[in-house]
Amino acid sequence: MVNWEHFKWKYLAALFLAVAFSWSNAQEGDAISGDPSNGESLFNTHCAACHALDKKLIGPALGGVVERLQDEQGLGRDWLHSWIKDNEALRASGDEYAVQVFEDYNQTLMTAFPQLSDQDIDDVLAYTSNPPVVEEVVEETAVASTDESSLPVGALIIGFSVLAALLIWLLVKVNTLVKLSTAEGGELAMEDSQSFAKVFEKNKKLAYAVLGLLGLLVFYGLWVFMIGIGVDKGYQPEQPIYFSHKIHAGEQGIDCQYCHSSAKYGKVSGIPSPNLCMNCHYQIQEYTGDYVEEGKSKQFYTEEMQKIYQSIGFDKDNLTYTGEEEPIEWARIHNMPDFVYFNHAQHVVAGEEAIKNAKGVDQVCYACHGRVDQMDEVQMANDFTMGWCIECHRETEVDMNNEYNKEYYAQLHEKLKQQYGEEATITVDAIGGLECGKCHY
């Protein structure tokens, strides 16, 4: 589906990207003591769910936080390192500001990040002090905003721009040559350009055909590229551990929310930590199941399991922990741009029945993520574009009788009934599901 509103944006974004690309690279040199572009990707993976640079979300705005804490609280980087690694421990140690900020934010728990190294934290802090200049544009266009993709995207744009420039140059050149060769003052033209013009004149049709084809090719490339930005259906990155949902959720029937437990309570579903894996893999150390994906083997699965132990520092022969941990860096598959607000709880709890009915699925997750229980590797099952959200909001009838909605929409429901009649179907758009502010910060 082509959405012109989107297209315009992406066109602009694409134009800026070439500039942004070189610019953001140039910026890296100014870092205080970390790599802001690595910091940016760490920030997006670990912090962006609760923090933005320029405004308060669930936690405080983090733009310039190093400077702010230094100026206002006299706290240095050490404090930030301790806080980010384990804020609860810092509070428990009696740190005054740690307790105060927790109270200021109504005791909202920030996740602990023991897996981040000091260098990682310095990188994140470098990013908060010194974000790449045209960050928004880069964010919007980078496919699924992963690191690996921003380079080819930038390179592609530059490639296309160069091609386009070449083409224009050629056209102008040819045009003047044709004019010169046909003009009366033809003697002004140089020898070789005359001959070039003659050749061109002779093979006019062929030359135009070649030029036309080139033009079409460039245009087609740009078109496909721009339509593709932000639409990642089918996106399936390689993961550091070959973790099979088909084996865990399908064969073993483990409930999605056993591992993605925050889907019910919060904005994000989250990826389980290795500690959770150990609930089972403390015992289960090799693969003995019947299911084996084509091209894989039991041996392969068993080897993949060992990566959990390596990550969490578990010596399985002695059943002891060595303390040598290294994080599993799962590649993030779904990642909305920062300016979009999506809340799992709203859909998984309040919307559960409505969505299951509308999409005819027996697990609410499948409506948006597809049959994850049948995927060896998770891939993006839908477009996850604005049009996709809106389409479902237009179609899905709200379940006004569940506890959540009874409480929240009691008055609204009465009004809607008066307006549309007792029997009318009330879809999500009627309760505000098409309002820009509901989905955008």
- Ranges within 204-243 binding ligand HEC (CB under 6 A): 230, 239, 241-243
Q: Is 52 in the site for ligand HEC (CB under 6 A)?
A: no
Q: What is the dihedral of CA 159, 160, 163, 164, to 10 degrees?
A: -150
The CA distances from residue 35 to 112, 119, 124, 125, 325, in Å, are: 22, 9, 8, 9, 23
Where do we find the tokens 């799962």?
Answer: 330
Q: Is 412 in the site for ligand HEC (CB under 6 A)?
A: no
Binding mask 27-46 for ligand HEC (x = CB under 6 A): -------------------x
The CA distances from residue 26 to 29, 137, 415, in Å, are: 6, 16, 57
Please, which residue, 359 or 417, has the CB nearer to ligand HEC? 359
Site for ligand HEC in 281-320 (CB under 6 A): 281, 284, 287-289, 301, 304-305, 308
Q: What is the dihedral of CA 17, 21, 23, 29, to 10 degrees?
A: 160
Contact yes or no for 245/378 (Cβ under 8 A) = yes
| Binding range to ligand HEC, per CB under 6 A, among 211-219, 264-272, 314-322, 415-423 | 264-272
Contact yes or no for 277/248 (Cβ under 8 A) = no
Q: Is 346 in the site for ligand HEC (CB under 6 A)?
A: yes
Contact yes or no for 311/327 (Cβ under 8 A) = yes
Please, which residue, 192 or 403, has the CB nearer to ligand HEC? 403
| Cα–Cα nearest to 410, from 435, 428, 431 | 431
* Six-digit token string for 64: 């310039």
Least CB distance from residue 22 to ligand HEC, whole Å? Answer: 23
Please, which residue, 157 or 197, has the CB nearer to ligand HEC? 157
* Six-digit token string for 336: 């909305």
The count of chain residues that interact with ligand HEC, using the rule CB under 6 A, is 109
Please, which residue, 133 or 254, has the CB nearer to ligand HEC? 254
| Cα–Cα nearest to 241, from 288, 210, 281, 188 | 281
Out of 17, 20, 53, 65, point to the residue binding ligand HEC (CB under 6 A).
65
Out of 260, 309, 413, 426, point to the residue binding ligand HEC (CB under 6 A).
260
Please, which residue, 197 or 247, has the CB nearer to ligand HEC? 247
Please, which residue, 4 or 184, has the CB nearer to ligand HEC? 4
* Six-digit token string for 288: 């003995």
Q: Is 410 in the site for ligand HEC (CB under 6 A)?
A: no
Contact yes or no for 82/90 (Cβ under 8 A) = yes
Out of 38, 44, 150, 244, point to the residue binding ligand HEC (CB under 6 A).
244
Least CB distance from residue 298 to ligand HEC, whole Å? Answer: 8
Q: Is 431 in the site for ligand HEC (CB under 6 A)?
A: yes
* Six-digit token string for 180: 């010169």
Please, which residue, 40 or 189, has the CB nearer to ligand HEC? 40
| Binding range to ligand HEC, per CB under 6 A, among 23-31, 192-200, 217-225, 274-282 | 274-282
| Cα–Cα nearest to 327, from 396, 368, 271, 289 | 271
Least CB distance from residue 214 to ligand HEC, whole Å? Answer: 29
Q: Is 126 in the site for ligand HEC (CB under 6 A)?
A: no
CA atoms within 13 A on the CB side of 402: 15
Please, which residue, 34 or 433, has the CB nearer to ligand HEC? 433
Q: How far is CA 432 from the centre of its chain?
A: 25
Please, which residue, 210 or 424, has the CB nearer to ligand HEC? 424
Site for ligand HEC in 134-153 (CB under 6 A): 140
Please, which residue, 185 or 437, has the CB nearer to ligand HEC? 437
Contact yes or no for 62/47 (Cβ under 8 A) = yes
